Structure 1
């Protein structure tokens, strides 16, 4: 047996190195030793014999080596882009649907107004045509009947009044057309105001800055919420430094040789 697997303490009769202290509260720098070492410095501490410690650490290292970090790929970005495109298409479809309905409603309103105006126009035009039909024989005064002549005389007597009435009807008709045009402009102004309001809210909400500073707290646990990539690295480094204990070269050799047989 190599002499390095025996205790180097002159008072311990070169006993075989047997134990390693694994107690979390141990403050002793010398973690490995013989039975007397442990009676003096680690009497109440948790311990493992060298072979057990070696096997268990090796097993833990193998388990530790099984931990894998998923590599960064474009899959996340591609999936995000696809979902954004789908959301955008859905959003545009909804907006198109709503504005198509609004356009249809406004068209129906204007069509109703135009239909009423067209009915008024047809009635006025028909009335005017009837008046003209009764006067079409004005060139045959000497040959028309007395009744037809009386109609011409009546028209002559009331022509100013008739023309005045039709002129007023024409003005009313023009006013109604203007009202419909004004209603159309009013509808367009309201629609434009809706669009401007939507675009303002959209610009305020859909900005990169607004998304970047969202805390996404609904996806976080108390541990994850404070664990940025830099903090994760620091966390790993700090846990590693906390579990280290001093072991000089001779102690490393002592531990290594204690595992090897002659």
Structure 2
């Protein structure tokens, strides 16, 4: 059976009405009637039993209403998404730059190859036009040729080495142009490798640099404050104190170092 009246012999069976909620209270019995609280809890913070029960019930409901976000919506997932976005953007930028170099190279090579092709076509056409009359004439017997045709063949005979040298030189020039294109390709490839090596070198230096801080720092802290070590802070304070002729003793340095280190942690 629930006891709703005070059992103290001198409290006239008064109704139990109050609960002591004072944080400083050391009295074991926290509930009682008005006289109980006059005796033991006169200066303490109290609540009526109804107020106490309502507060506890409301607190249980409030705490119970707290919802925990699923892992898929966690800050870690958001951070991973942000990292992926930044990394993709960085890779796209690098890819775009290399594609620009490749496009520039391809454009130049295509233009050079068109020129070479045009030159080869023109050389071949010139050579065919120059040799075709002699091809037709030389098929006939020499004794049936007229004087003009024979003189033309004689002249060709005399100049054939020179003509051969001319077209051989043209063929060599074509090969030289092709070699230049090959060298240009190699130059561009070396340029791309050089750029990649510089990127990797800068990346490795950045990731291994002591100046890169991954500690949680206030957004409003200066870079100097972020990277300043306890010993640097001691030297800074020592300099300021020495200018006023109040240098730090070894004991003061010891205590200051401990305090700074603890604060930085």
| TM-score of Structure 1 vs Structure 2, range by shorter chain | 0.5 to 0.7
**What secondary structure sits across from 2:144 in the alignment?**
coil
Which range is displaced more, 166-175 or 81-90? 81-90
Post-superposition CA distance 1:207-251 (Å, at most 9, x none) = xxxxxx897x99xxxxxxxxxxxxxxxxxxxxxxxxxxxxxxxxx
Task: Give the length in aligned residue pairs.
Answer: 210
How far 1:119 moved relative to its partner?
A: 1.7
Going from structure 1 to structure 2, the CA distance change for 1:78 and 1:140 (only over 3 Å counts) comes to farther
Q: Which residue of 2 aligns with 1:17?
A: 16
Q: Which residue of 2 aligns with 1:6?
A: 6
Q: Which residue of 1 aligns with 2:39?
A: 40
Q: Which residue of 2 aligns with 1:110?
A: 109
Q: Distance in 2 between matches of 1:2 and 1:77?
A: 52
Q: Which residue of 1 aligns with 2:177?
A: 176
CA contact (8 A) 1:26 1:45 kept: yes
Given the alignment of the two structures, is residue 148 of structure 1 paired with residue 149 of structure 2, yes or no?
yes
Post-superposition CA distance 1:141-180 (Å, at most 9, x none) = 3333333333333323333333223222222222112222
Structure 1 gaps of 5+ residues are: 206-212, 219-262
Q: Distance in 1 between matches of 2:74 and 2:145?
A: 97
How far 1:20 moved relative to its partner?
A: 1.2
CA contact (8 A) 1:21 1:32 kept: yes
Q: Distance in 1 between matches of 2:43 and 2:6?
A: 22
Structure 2 gaps of 5+ residues are: 207-213, 220-265
CA contact (8 A) 2:17 2:33 kept: yes
Going from structure 1 to structure 2, the CA distance change for 1:86 and 1:200 (only over 3 Å counts) comes to same
Larger RCO (CA within 8 A; separation ≥ 6): 1
CA contact (8 A) 1:7 1:16 kept: no
Q: Distance in 1 between matches of 2:2 and 2:158?
A: 147
Post-superposition CA distance 1:54-99 (Å, at most 9, x none) = 3443343344444444566899999999999999999998888777
| TM-score (structure 1 length as normaliser) | 0.55
Going from structure 1 to structure 2, the CA distance change for 1:182 and 1:28 (only over 3 Å counts) comes to same
Q: Distance in 1 between matches of 2:188 and 2:70?
A: 56
Going from structure 1 to structure 2, the CA distance change for 1:62 and 1:122 (only over 3 Å counts) comes to closer
Q: Which residue of 1 aligns with 2:165?
A: 164
